Amino acid sequence: MTLHSTIKKITVIGNGGWGTALAILLSKKGNEITLWGHNKTYTDHLREKRENTKYLKGITLPPDITVTSEITPKLMDAQFIISATPTPYLRSVLIKFKEVFVDKTPVISITKGIENETLMRPSEIVRDVLGDQPVTLLLGPSHAEEVAHGLPTTIVASSNDLNLAQTVQELFTTDRFRVYTNTDVIGVELGAALKNVIAIAAGICDGLKLGDTSKAALITRGLAEISRLGTAMGANKITFSGLSGLGDLITTCISPYGRNRWVGEQIGKGKSLQEILNNMEQIAEGVWTTKSVIRLSKKYNIEMPITEEIYSVLFSGKKPLEALNNLMMRTPKSEVEELY
């Protein structure tokens, strides 16, 4: 694989932390990057200050990255479109681009979630709005802050079309950003979404000061839940032992950067969900994904006790310690029979 390819024109839809970090990475590789954001006031600020002060503080935006809030045919005159909008807003943002989108332009989705109303994954939302576009996922254990600082990161490019996944792999790979390929789109996308629910539970463990053994058990049993639902939906169970499964789950459950873990920690400390969300600049995808996962578990008749308890804590007012007791006092079972 050749790591140094020709210059590509790339548009990033979404100027949050992750979209900005990848725009910087691709710019440093010599590509022509346009970074789009929906808020004109903030994009004007970003263009002037060259720093994403809300979402990626302390990182300078290269001068050759174009920043805009306009939607024009020129914006879609690109060889790749990176879709970097959180799931709750993804459909409404893509609808704005529908009239100017160029047919068959490859879309790279970096969004982690499941739409509440339709239970669609982000790649499915892209095709539902824009038509039958070639879509590749770029997902796995990663933090915008670490990637922007050049810390070693490993991630997965996933597409039904292996050649397209390999093209995206080459596009992003650097000496500090290693990309693997995986054709299991369902598994990669579900692993990236469902781990955010378990991360909220991990944060509650931290807020309650339950210790490392509790969190280890939670991560292990959480992975079992993710795997059960994923395989029922058509994923390859091996995927959940990989980067977008176990790797992403560990990262988001232990990292201080993890928004979902932080939400859970605040709940464990006694704060209400609404109070927490009111003081957040970014989206904690796991909060909304929990609603979708509960519906999917019922649809596929899959037992997901951790997710059910997290749903009750988030939306039904259950106390975290009561949820913990419910999990600990479940009927004893064989780990081997229930693990996958």
The structural domains of the chain, with segments of one domain joined by +, span: 9-183, 187-339
Q: What are phi and psi of 157, to 5 degrees?
A: -100, 125
195 is catalytic: yes
CB 198 within 8 A of CB 218: yes
Q: Which residues of 286-318 are buried (b: 16+ CB within 10 A; e: fewer)?
A: bbbbbbbbbebbeeeebebebbbbbbbbbeeee
Question: How sure is the predictor about 337, in pLDDT bands with cuts at 50, 70 and 90?
Answer: low
The answer, yes or no, to whether residue 224 has pLDDT greater than 90, is yes
Angle of CA points 244, 23, 85, to nearest 5°: 60
| Fold of the domain built from segment(s) 9-183 | Rossmann fold (3.40.50)
Q: Is the pLDDT of residue 191 over 90?
A: yes
> How sure is the predictor about 1, in pLDDT bands with cuts at 50, 70 and 90?
very low
Long-range contacts from 267-270, C-beta under 8 angstroms, 24+ separation: 267/200, 267/203, 267/204, 267/207, 267/313, 267/314, 267/320, 268/203, 268/204, 268/205, 268/206, 268/207, 268/208, 268/320, 269/207, 270/207
DSSP letter, residue 286:
H
Query: Looking at 195, 237, 269, 291, which residue is catalytic?
Result: 195
Average pLDDT, the chain: 94
pLDDT tens per residue across span 131-189: 999 999 999 999 999 999 999 999 999 999 999 999 999 999 999 999 999 999 999 99
CA–CA separation, 217 vs 229, rounded Å?
A: 19
What are 234-281's pLDDT values in tens digits?
Answer: 999 999 999 999 999 999 999 988 999 999 999 999 999 999 999 888
Say how far apart CA 215 and CA 229 lie, in whole Å. Answer: 21
Is the pLDDT at 93 greater than 50? The verdict is yes
338 band by pLDDT with thresholds 50, 70 and 90: low
DSSP 8-state class, residue 101? P
Higher pLDDT, 114 or 329: 114
> Which amino acid, residue 279?
N
> What pLDDT, on the 0 to 100 scale, is given for residue 315?
96
CATH class of 187-339: mainly alpha
Contact 158, 215 (CB under 8 A): no
Cβ-Cβ contacts under 8 Å for 39 (sequence gap 6 or more): 69
**pLDDT for the residue numbered 2:** 38
8 Å CB contact between 179 and 169? yes
pLDDT for residue 3: 40
Question: For a pLDDT cut of 70, what percent of the chain falls above it?
Answer: 97
Residue 331's pLDDT is what? Answer: 83
Per-residue confidence (pLDDT) for residue 330, from 0 to 100: 84
Spatial contact of 218 and 279, defined as CB atoms under 8 Å apart? no
